[in-house]
A and B are shown apart, each in its own frame.
Chain A
Amino acid sequence: MTIKLNALAAAALAVVAVTGAQAAEPKSGGILRFYHRETPPSLSIHEEATFSVNVPAMGLYNNLVVYDQHKAQNSMGTIVPDLADSWAWSSDNLSLSFKLHQGVKWHDGQPFTSKDVKCTFDLIQGKGQDKFRKNPRKDLFKNVTDVTTNGDYEVTLHLSRPQPSILAMLASGYTPMYSCHVTAAQMRTTPIGTGPFKFVEFKQNESIKLTKNSDYFKKGLPYLDGIEYTIIPNRATAVLAFVAGRIDATFPSEMTSALIKDIKSQDPTAVCEIGPINVNSNLIVNRDKPPFDNADLRKAMALSLDRKAFIDIIFQGQGDAGGALLPPPEGVWGMPPDILKTIPGYGDVAKSREEARGIMAKLGYSADKPLKIKVSTRNLATYRDPAVVLIDQLKTVYIDAELDPVESSAWFAKVARGDYSVGLNLTGNGIDDPDQAFYENYACGSERNYTNYCNKEIEALFDKQSVETDVEKRKKLVWDIDKKLQEDVARPILMHGRSGMCWKPYVKNMTIMNNSVYNGFRYEDVWLDK
């Protein structure tokens, strides 16, 4: 058995080192006040797929393992113990065992045991009596064939094939442990976790309040007495509330570079950070619908793209060109620039468009006889704005497109039905990991594979990289796959956006993760220096 032990002491030392580097001795007490951008659908992380839920709810729960909350870049090397004190792979890499921390209690006083881990997986995999209303990450764990317990404090995940990424998935803010004795329905309204904060109340359109869990198993934590999220959907009001000191921190990833500039001009003491969030805008083309079943036409569309223009117009230059995976240096698995520029459409724009016009001419289109299409997208500014830029760029290759804004609630249903020709979509990756990105968005039959792209050869490569344990070897496989996906026009990536967050200088120990927007909101050792 290959043992990979991560002692709690090491993690504690790391935390101490970071806090020591950042400020003096942490102080206990105080309520951290955030604004929240909207009323989240519930606080049951497993049932939702928006970080509007993760931000207020992550502090309620613990995972088996978690990404180090003070390392900005999530990677396999930054995974630290949480409810599990240690973990170990079997020699054949087909089972992953966890030794659980003893003496952990749920917020209602019940003890946390290995049975709760099994119950969590039963819920995720739909094997138990109780069911989630919706289960967006069921497919992430489809490789887990069984979960067995050995006493109250040891649990093993059995896999159908080796999959190193399973640890990354478990470390995500999306994978908290749920208890056996609380129903899925109760978790949506009055969640019970083991986390540093307990649920107090959730009032729609008003606020979410959490209070300190005095029985938290990590001694001395949390420092805060509680966290309050005031729901302020109007961003202008929220920014003014921050400047006036009514709130201590803005909602993560809600501040654009223009807004940060505005905040800094009004409150120069504000601490603001901007970075990638691993959300990309992409072009989806219905490859089953003529004339888009023609690979040459899809290629011409991909060649029309000017990614720099997208980034400059939409994000005022604060974005990155890349493939399916977030590009380096913040992204762990994205293609390096020298590979990226070899992909058609990522180099000289004028040359690419010339080539595209040649293809279109062969297909019988011209400036006088353009291809008339509709570009469908959700009727939200974050979707609409890049769609308008896309329409403008498609014109350069004899495609006369018209915007088709789709009522937000009808968007995924429309896409799932294949009731579109060309669309613009946004894809957020919960973790910076190839398994999640590839299987979720490009595997045959996946619920989120909106273009129905299905290439068995590439899918075989997905499996090949997925079982690879050597990170450097795996990276090369991943780059090769990502390059092929872009060349195959599976779902051309237009840009990876960046956004930021601000907080008052007295808020200490705040770390913004820069390759995911779903994993860094535990706030167990954040403290207020006032």
Chain B
Amino acid sequence: MGSYLVRRFFLMLLTLFGISVLVFVMLRLVPGNIADILFDAAGMINSADKHDLERQLGIDQPIIVQYAHWIGGLAHGDLGYSYVSEKPAIQEILPRIPITAKLAGLALMFSIVFGVPLGVLSAVRQNSALDYVLRVVSLSGLSMPAFWLGLLILMAFVHFFGTIPIYTNPPVGFWNSLALYSVPAAAVGFRSSALVMRLTRSSMLEVLRQDYIRTARAKGASDQNVNYHHALRNALLPVVTVIGIEAAFLMGGLIVTETVFNIPGIARFLVEAIRWRDYPIVQNLVMFIAVVAVSINFLIDLLYAALDPRIRYAS
């Protein structure tokens, strides 16, 4: 088990190194840099001033020098300065992480709390009226565009309650935060729980057809014991994988929800930073998201081992 963990850890570091190189190079392959964007906003190009700005920001240097400068800075905890706000990148990135983390956490909770039990219910009551209803609901969740659903929710709130659940100022206190984030989290969680529900259902159905389930039933185990003790635990492996992928996605992929509900989280900030070619922000944010994604994968690997002893023994 120890060597398995060490091997996974080094693989994680290697992956992060690969991502850092990829992000750095790809970002510079995109046409235009911050100087182009700033002059574009001014509706003019002055070559001398533009080169001057590029020199000031160090983006005229060879790419390898820029990369070494970035990695060297990271090693010392220096993330550089945002080209747009001219503030330290860490000051721009840090306050946004809890915002997205709260939203993603709530959405994930929503998807697990609704997705797993309803998926199980749908499987054990296969082809019942309840199963059909849940399948329709889950299909709608998967097929409804997040943008459209978000706007529908906002319109409904404005029409029926005369208020709008969007972020205009930082919420004060736990309950205000919960009230602010729960609506967008439900919008995201609807799609996410639909995915988890469908996967739980199909996984459960597959497990419920296994010989050992039939054996358990033959031995007189109760339905509840069979479904939740024998079947669910084994059906959870693919579900856990998907939840892990969802968790990583939610940390960086909530651009549509953050835009519709006007939440100043990291996804919207990342897109904005890409638009400005604000390299220090984009590089560091992508690395943060990568660290989260890789760490979650690592945790899932550990969870696999806990859920399925065969994986532990094989390693």
Contact = CB atoms under 8 A, between A and B. Distances in A.
B272 A204 contact: yes
A47 B154 CA distance: 37
Contacts of B154: 236-237, 240
Interface stretch (B6-14, B20-28, B127-135, B155-163): B155-163
A245 B260 contact: no
Nearest to A245: B162
A29 B280 CA distance: 41
A295 interface: no
B308 interface: no
A89 B98 CA distance: 59
A47 B155 contact: no
Interface in B164-223: 164, 166, 168-169
Nearest to A417: B45
B269 interface: yes
A160 interface: no
Interface stretch (B34-42, B103-111, B232-240, B288-296): B34-42
B164 A246 contact: yes
A241 B41 contact: no
A49 interface: yes
How many B residues touch the partner, as a band? 35 or more
A348 interface: no
A411 interface: yes
Contacts of B44: 49, 134, 136, 412, 416, 447-448
Interface in B265-315: 268-269, 272, 275, 277
A243 interface: yes
Interface in A9-50: 33, 39, 41-42, 47-50
A133 B49 contact: yes
Contacts of A288: none
B164 A39 contact: no
B84 interface: yes
A366 interface: no
B53 A134 contact: yes
Interface residues of A, number: 47
Contacts of B37: 409
Nearest to B96: A205
B241 interface: no
A411 B272 CA distance: 18
Interface stretch (B58-66, B69-77, B85-93, B114-122): B85-93
A199 to B, nearest CB: 14
Contacts of A412: 36, 39-40, 43-45
A134 B36 contact: no
Contact of A189 (B36, B38, B40, B87): B87
Contact of B259 (A233, A247, A448): A233
Contacts of B92: 204
A188 interface: yes
A258 interface: no
Nearest to B168: A230
A129 interface: no
A134 B49 contact: yes
Given A189-B87, A409-B36, 4 more contacts: A189-B86, A234-B260, A409-B31, A413-B45
The 5 closest A-B pairs by CB, nearest first: A409-B32, A244-B164, A136-B42, A416-B45, A206-B264
29 contacts: A39-B84, A41-B38, A41-B41, A49-B43, A50-B42, A133-B38, A133-B49, A134-B38, A134-B44, A134-B53, A189-B85, A236-B151, A236-B260, A237-B151, A237-B262, A240-B151, A240-B164, A241-B164, A243-B158, A244-B158, A246-B166, A247-B168, A407-B32, A409-B37, A410-B31, A412-B39, A412-B44, A413-B36, A447-B46
